[in-house]
Amino acid sequence: GESVGLHLPTLSVQEGDNSIINCAYSNSASDYFIWYKQESGKGPQFIIDIRSNMDKRQGQRVTVLLNKTVKHLSLQIAATQPGDSAVYFCAETYSGSARQLTFGSGTQLTVLP
Amino acid sequence: EPEVTQTPSHQVTQMGQEVILRCVPISNHLYFYWYRQILGQKVEFLVSFYNNEISEKSEIFDDQFSVERPDGSNFTLKIRSTKLEDSAMYFCASSRETDTGELFFGEGSRLTVL
């Protein structure tokens, strides 16, 4: 069936650099996308979301970009810090509802000192 | 800061036994969820719950699973007869509204079925 997946399982960046985490989705009916961060031993933590009527949304040090043409989502983290080390998941749903999120496989971000 | 709490943090059970996982959602939230994550795999939706009834459930949430909000604070997931493949981390989550992807997750209950 259709699913959300991630391009890279691991990503290492130097502290202070910018990080870009990518996500491909295949369900063209999805119209709402969310990024979650999961630290070791903890539950997923909401980072930022974007609806399909937008192509960019910014938060504090994070930006999400949505390209509906190629069904691609990315999360940019500015000035990456050691505390950003975690697994990052994209998730999708449709009709603006959070009732049933479909999560991607996750990318492990490691911030190097 | 309010948080979702889950108990137990880890439960080991024998195949065929019943298990109840407990959650206390954030107090002013109205929507409750269970997700699970098998080791090394994706987080998977199980069920959503609102106004004392199931809103949506996935194919995983078959007849051996049930949810309940027995009082004003707890939200439970019961697995009637556990199977080896039920071994996973089970996450409870809650949200203020349904029209948001901002779910607040607990730290999870690790279930090991032997």
| β-bridge pairing B10-13 and B109-113 | parallel
* pLDDT greater than 70 at residue B20: yes
Encoding tokens for residue A26? 């295949």
Q: Does A104 lie at the interface with B, CB-CB under 8 angstroms?
A: yes
- State the average pLDDT over residues B18-33: 95
Residues 6+ apart with CB under 8 A from B2: B26, B27, B104
Of A45, A97, A99, the CB nearest to B105: A45
Beta bridge partners of A103: A91
pLDDT at position B101? 79
Name the A residues in 20-79 with CB < 8 Å from any B CB. 32-34, 41-46, 49
Phi, psi of B85 (to 5 degrees): -75, -5
Interface of B with A in 9-48 (CB under 8 A): 31, 35, 41-45, 48
In angstroms, what CA-CA distances link A47 with B53, B85, B95, B97? 28, 30, 14, 17
- For the segment B8-23, the average pLDDT, to the nearest whole number, is 97
Q: What is the mean pLDDT of residues B88-110?
A: 91
Neighbouring CB atoms inside 10 A of A70's CB total 7
* A6-37 confidence digits (pLDDT tens): 444 899 999 999 999 999 987 888 999 999 99
pLDDT digits (tens, 9 = 90+) for B36-95: 999 888 899 999 999 999 999 999 999 999 999 988 789 999 999 999 999 999 999 999
Q: Name the token pair of B72.
A: 């004003």
* pLDDT given for residue A6 in this prediction: 42
Average pLDDT (B5-29) is 96
Does B1 contact chain A (CB < 8 Å)?
Answer: no
Phi, psi of B23 (to 5 degrees): -145, 140
Predicted confidence at residue A96, as pLDDT, reads: 55
Pick the more confident residue, B108 or A29: B108
- For chain A, residues with pLDDT lower than 70 are 1-8, 96-98
Nearest-CA distance B18 → chain A (Å): 24
Examine residue B8 and say whether the peptide bond preceding it is cis (omega within 30 degrees of 0).
yes
